[in-house]
Each structure stands twice: as C-alpha cells, then as structure tokens.
Amino acid sequence: MHQNHKTDNVSDDSRIRACKIFAAIFSQKPSVALKRLIILDSLNKTVNGRLKFKDILVEVKSISNDEDYNSQRLTYDLRVLKESNLVESSESGDYIITDYGRLLLDVFNEIKSKISDASIFKGPCVVGVTSGSIETDDFDHKLLVQELDRLPCFKRKISLEKDKSCLVWQSQEYFKSEIEIASDGSFVVHVAIDIDDHEITEETFWENGEKNEKIYEIARGIVLTTVFFIEKTARKLWRKSRIIVPIKPDSYPVFGYKRDFTDE
C-alpha cells in the first residue's frame, strides 16, 4: 500500500508539471498563445536553438504582424516560458529552447494536423489551382495581404513563416481555399470543392467525370476571381505593378485531397 501511495504521488506531481507546461501556452488568449508558439518555433528553427532578445522581438512582430508587440510584453512571455521550463537563458544573454519546448511544439503540430484532417476531403472533389507572380518595386507581401483582408470576401490565415502570408475565402462552407503570397512576389491559389455525393465510389467517380463539368467551371471561376482581386489590390498599392500568371488557371478531379486547409 505504501508503494502504491508513493507511485500515485509521483504520478500527481507529473500531471501537475505537465499541466503547468501546457498552461504556459494554451490557457491564454489565442493571440497570446500564438506569440508564445512563435517564440518557441523561432528558437527551434535556428541551427543551435537560440536567439538574442532583440531577434526574438523582430521575429514575433514580423510573423504575427503585430507592431504593438513590444519589449515589455516579450519580457513577460519569456518569463512565463522560462518558469515552465520551455525556454532557458544563457550567460551570454541568448534564449534557448529546451527539450520540453520542442516536445510542446511537436504536440501542437500534431493537434494542428489532426484538426486539418477534418478539413481534408476524403471523398470526391474538384481542385482548382494556379500560381503567378507580382512584379513591382518595394513589394510587401504583408501589406498586400493586409489590404486583401479588408475586403469582405477574404480573411487572413496565420502563418508561422515570416516570408509568406496566407489568406482564405471568408466563407469556407461549400469549398476550401488557401492563398499563399510570398515575400518575393510569388503566389499560389488553391481551391477544393467537395462533391457531396456519398454514393459515388472512386471507380464511378472517374467514369462519370463529365457530369461534374459545372463544378470544374466553378473551381476555375473562384481561382480566377482570386487572381483578379490580387491584381486589383496590387495595382492599387503599386500603380505600375505587373501580375504574371504563366499557366491559365485550371481545375481537375481528385478522389481524396490531402492539402492542409486549416482555417485558423
């Protein structure tokens, strides 16, 4: 009995420690949680897993697109992460991600992946896609996405990559979408429309492709409309900008689409 009681105490201690680690990230507001995840992710992506305070601040402000985020807020976030053993500091002033910090990132990415799976079409769907580039001086992908986000049809999607900004269509009830715009001016548009017919098998889906021609046209139309708004907004910001789309937007059938359309 004494041994079992001791084991239970150890188990309770582990649960409490684990809860504290999760609380450092996930018990906060989503915007706060995002910034702390960005801190961990930024540290984790470096070669030696460490960054200076000023570099972390630049990363968080850049990736979260929050210019109001300041040294005081970062100091507090780092203190919370240090208290939960997710981050530690060196004598030289570097901040270093710990093994617990990497583990928490792995858990977060796994959860994100599972949530994404719910948005992935496992049955028949039609995919529309195109890619292109925006040529102009002083191009700023964050400014472009900020302007597109003002339109009623789009909303911004959080990206942990500072050289890439993402959008989705405001309503994703009938189709999934993702618009990626990179810092070099390149962009990719993806659209997937679910064919809501549970009686279709993979074999009959390919045999009856012509019946879905209307959906193919709709997918192409959504992609073309997206490109139209990108071009119109880019020219509003940079009058002499050029939008180049080398290949005409197309659509094609897929039985089970694996792209991650996480809507955050």
Q: 10 Å Cβ neighbour count for 190?
A: 21
Domain shared by 187 and 230, yes or no? yes
Q: Is residue 262 part of a domain?
A: no
Domain shared by 238 and 155, yes or no? yes
Domain that holds residue 181: 120-255
Domain shared by 155 and 212, yes or no? yes
Q: Is residue 182 part of a domain?
A: yes
Domain shared by 128 and 251, yes or no? yes
Domain boundary pick from 114, 149, 174: 114
- Residue tagged 């000023």 (tokens): 54
CATH code at position 126: 3.30.2030
Cα separation of 243 and 124, whole Å?
32
Q: Is residue 261 part of a domain?
A: no
Q: Is residue 174 part of a domain?
A: yes
Query: What rounded mean pLDDT belongs to the chain?
Result: 80
Domain boundary pick from 51, 81, 114: 114
Domain shared by 202 and 163, yes or no? yes
pTM: 0.58
Domain shared by 103 and 198, yes or no? no
Domain shared by 104 and 143, yes or no? no
Q: Is residue 40 part of a domain?
A: yes
Q: Is residue 218 part of a domain?
A: yes
Answer whether 257's CB lies under 8 Å from 125's CB.
yes
Domain shared by 192 and 173, yes or no? yes
* pLDDT tens by residue, 85-134: 899 998 888 999 998 888 888 887 766 655 444 455 566 778 889 999 99
Q: Is residue 264 part of a domain?
A: no
pLDDT interval class at 45 (50, 70, 90): confident
**Token reading at 210:** 């012509």
pLDDT, position 28: 58
CATH code at position 18: 1.10.10.10
pLDDT, position 264: 47
Domain shared by 138 and 213, yes or no? yes
Secondary element (H or E) of residue 234: helix 213-237
pLDDT, position 118: 45
Percentage of the chain beyond pLDDT 70 is 75
Cα separation of 25 and 17, whole Å?
13
Domain shared by 169 and 251, yes or no? yes
